[in-house]
Structures are given as C-alpha cells and as structure tokens.
C-alpha cells in the first residue's frame, strides 16, 4: 500500500460520513498530523471506460513525467480569439469513477449534452463559442507550485495499486477515491485551466473584450490541500492556474471568487499568507469541511486577502445579490486584480443533494453576469470559471448552460428550469448580520 498524507474531516453538507479511522486534530491553516492511508477495496475490478474525448487521446496509458508534458503555449488562431465570446475546455475524466458516488463521470457529459440541446455549443454558435481541444497535461512543476512533491509522486506511484485493485479509497477525505487513470486525468484537468490562461492572455492582447473561459473539468479541486487530496478533489485546478498566471504571464494580482456551497479550504490554505492572491469564499455555514470561519482573514503578509462569508442555511438569490453588491464587488474594486478566477460550484442549488442553500438557475446567471462585468471593469475582461461541485445532473447542467448565456449577454432561461414552489423564505435577518460582520472585519 502506498502511503499518502491526507486530512481527515468527517462532515459533508452537514451530514456525518462513516470513516474507518481519522487521527488528526481538525483545524484550519495550522500544521496537522496526518495518519490516513490509501486503502485498496476488496471489490472486483470493474472495467473502466477508456477516455475517448478528443482532448486526451494521446495521453492514455503512458507513464507521466516532465518530458511527457512539454511547456508550450497553445496556438489559437487570432481570428478565432477575436470572434470568440466563450472559450472552454472539457475534461470529463471518464476513467475516474466510483459507482454510486456523487462526483461521478456523468457530470461533464451531462453539461455538454445540455449545451448541445440548448444550442450553446460551437455547432450552433459558430465562432462565438470555441472549444479548445488537444490541450496538454499540466506539468509536474505546474502542480508543484501548489502541492508538495511528496504528494504528487505518492499519488503517481499509487496508480499501480489502483491498476491491480480497480479502485483505491482514501480514508478520511470526503470520501475521495482514485482509479488507475486518476493521476493522468487530474493532470489533464489542471492542464485545461493552464490552457485557458494562455488563451485568455493571448486574446486580451488582441482587443479590449477577450472571451470568458470555462474549464469544464473533473475531478474538482478547491478542497485539495497542498499536502494531499480531500473532499472529492485531487489537484487544486484553480490554484494551479493562479500560480501559472503569475509565473508564466506576470499577472501578479489574482482574485479567486468561490461560490461553491462548501468552503474552498484547499485554495485558501495554498494562498493564506500571499498578499497577491485574494481568496473570497461564500459558503453554507457549518457545512463540509468546517473551515471558512468569518474571522479567517489570512496571515502574515497575506492578512486581509482572505475573505470568508459563511451564509446561513436557506440562503438563496437574495443573499447572493446582497453578497455580491456589498462584499464581492467592493473587495474586487479595492484589490484591483489582473485576472479573476472563479470556483464555480453549482451545489448551492436548492435541489442539490449535498447541502442546504437554495440558489436557483437564475442565481447562477446573476453571478456569472455580475462577475463578467466586474472583470470587464477591473482587469480587461480576463476571467475564467472552473467547475467545482454540483451533484444533481439536471440542475448542474441547466445552471452551467445559463452561465454560458450570461457570458453571451443573452436572457436567462431560468424560468424554464426553476419552480418557485420549491423555495421557502430566506433567513434575511441572519443574512444581513453575516454580511455586515464581513464588511466590518474587512472595512468595506
């Protein structure tokens, strides 16, 4: 068995998950004692579908090393970048899958199907919507700007155990699992974000209105801490892209907005003492993983560049409109980012099974439209979304599709998907208190 260092945090969306053992004191931004290990499952190995998407055909089955992932900037024709309103990459990680697990390999295909059905794909939109294909894996150096080398090499070595057993369960991480393709497919998902950064920078040099980007990838990333995986996440896709934007393109000041229902603890940990990366998270109070308290504001040189806004259960469209106007926009205007990256989790939807907020398709449309305008005003329109959570396939796919419509400045179709009868009254008093507390702490 390969030993990996992983945190042990047992709460998911307010529900307790059974763990075989967890032996670390839980706390945010402090040294932890890790004692969790990979456990191989006793089940028969199930046949794993081959990765067949166009973007990864050249990567299947190969051992990954630095020479396998040469650092090249993707060449996208100038005329395509000039015409495009949306750039996106897909990495559905079909081989990374566990039966009955909410973070399944059906998630990205469901989104792609919805984009096609709602006529938002390149087939229907021509040069407005561009899918970038045949992109590279992230290099190990790219990932090592965020994660420890020992974790990266440990996960790579563990793939042989996954090949023998068919599935590896990581104790105490959410639960997070791995198959024999997880390492490569996680590098590919991180590579999608890097590719979009390259393309966004190229587009911004051609004109004042670059397209918005969306990395439709899995496994998600915002829970993966520097020392290991956690909460369904393997590598911190958005964190890797943030460091890449700084190192490769000189985009020094990066703002990360995370509206997933769960706190992005991995992203927060990676940049907790960094004054040049502003991490802002809205999430459900008391939900997994228990981090993201309102008084966690960063430390050292990074004090003040972490902002957490835990929202009470039942918060919905009203809460997020207030949060954007009173917290998110003023924070961004003060920070003056060079690029905005967004951890776009769709598990705050009222019908999502893993939490207790009540966003609607319209809420996600509003957020996408508002963040787009913020990026246009502050950083030349440079903005990339990264798929995080969202486990009801129908609400996930319709909400991402409405995000695309917001990017295109087209009217929302939320009325076709949202039933007002599913909603109940929001706890407005508690919402206002939370927002005022955050404003007070950060002098907004």
Torsion of CA 104, 372, 225, 284, to 10 degrees: -80
Distance CA 229, CA 174 (A): 9
φ, ψ of residue 426 to 5 degrees: the values are -75, 150
Tokens at 201, concatenated: 């920078």
3-state SS assignment for residue 16: strand
Tokens at 52, concatenated: 């067949």
Q: Which residues are catalytic?
A: 223
Distance CA 370, CA 250 (A): 25
Question: Using an 8 Å Cβ cutoff, are 238 and 343 in contact?
Answer: yes
Question: Using an 8 Å Cβ cutoff, are 221 and 266 in contact?
Answer: yes
Distance CA 346, CA 361 (A): 9
- Sign of the CA dihedral 241, 244, 249, 252? positive
Q: List all residues 6 or more positions away from 27 whose beta carbon is below 8 Å from its beta carbon.
A: none
**Smallest Cα–Cα separation from 375: which of 249, 237, 247, 212?**
212
Q: Which residues of 170-186 are buried (b: 16+ CB within 10 A; e: fewer)?
A: bbbbbbbbbbbbbbbbb
Question: Using an 8 Å Cβ cutoff, are 371 and 327 in contact?
Answer: no
Q: List all residues 6 or more positions away from 39 whose beta carbon is below 8 Å from its beta carbon.
A: 1, 20, 168, 169, 170, 171
Distance CA 231, CA 291 (A): 12
Distance CA 127, CA 238 (A): 26
φ, ψ of residue 131 to 5 degrees: the values are -95, 125
Left, alpha or beta for 395 (phi > 0: left; psi -120 to 50: alpha)? Answer: alpha
């Amino acid at each position: 068995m390969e030993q990996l260092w992983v945190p042990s945090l047992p709460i998911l969306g307010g529900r307790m998950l059974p763990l075989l053992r967890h032996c670390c004191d839980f706390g945010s931004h402090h040294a932890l004692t890790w004692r969790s290990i990979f456990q191989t499952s006793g089940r028969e190995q199930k046949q794993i579908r081959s990765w067949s998407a166009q973007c990864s055909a050249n990567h299947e089955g190969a051992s990954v090393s630095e020479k396998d992932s040469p650092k090249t900037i993707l060449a996208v024709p100038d005329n395509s970048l000039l015409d495009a309103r949306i750039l996106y990459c897909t990495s559905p990680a079909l081989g990374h899958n566990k039966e009955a697990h909410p973070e399944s390999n059906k998630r990205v295909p469901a989104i792609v199907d919805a984009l096609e059905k709602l006529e938002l794909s390149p087939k229907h939109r021509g040069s407005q919507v561009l899918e970038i294909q045949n992109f590279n894996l992230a290099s190990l150096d790219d990932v090592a700007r965020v994660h420890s080398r020992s974790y990266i090499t440990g996960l790579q070595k563990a793939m042989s155990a996954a090949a023998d057993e068919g599935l590896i369960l990581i104790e105490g991480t959410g639960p997070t699992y791995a198959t024999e393709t997880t390492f490569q497919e996680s590098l590919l998902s991180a590579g999608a974000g890097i590719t979009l950064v390259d393309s966004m920078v190229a587009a911004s040099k051609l004109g004042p209105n670059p397209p918005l980007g969306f990395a439709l990838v899995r496994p998600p990333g915002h829970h993966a801490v520097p020392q290991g995986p956690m909460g369904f996440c393997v590598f911190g896709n958005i964190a890797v892209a943030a460091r890449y934007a700084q190192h490769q393109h000189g985009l020094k000041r990066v703002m990360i907005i995370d509206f997933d229902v769960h706190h992005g603890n991995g992203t927060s940990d990676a940049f907790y003492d960094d004054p040049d990366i502003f991490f802002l998270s809205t999430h459900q109070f008391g939900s997994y993983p228990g981090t993201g308290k309102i008084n966690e504001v960063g430390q050292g040189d990074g004090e003040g560049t972490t902002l957490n806004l835990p929202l009470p259960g039942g918060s919905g469209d009203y809460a997020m409109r207030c949060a954007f106007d009173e917290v998110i926009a003023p924070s961004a205007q003060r920070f003056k980012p060079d690029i905005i990256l967004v951890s776009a989790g769709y598990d705050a939807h009222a019908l999502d099974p893993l939490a207790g907020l009540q966003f609607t398709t319209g809420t996600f449309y509003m957020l996408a439209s508002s963040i787009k305008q913020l990026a246009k005003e502050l950083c030349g329109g440079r903005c990339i979304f990264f798929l995080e959570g969202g486990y009801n396939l129908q609400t996930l796919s319709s909400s991402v599709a409405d995000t695309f419509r917001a990017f295109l400045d087209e009217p929302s179709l939320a009325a076709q998907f949202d039933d007002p009868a599913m909603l109940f009254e929001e706890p407005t008093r508690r919402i206002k208190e939370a927002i005022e507390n955050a404003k007070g702490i950060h002098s907004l």
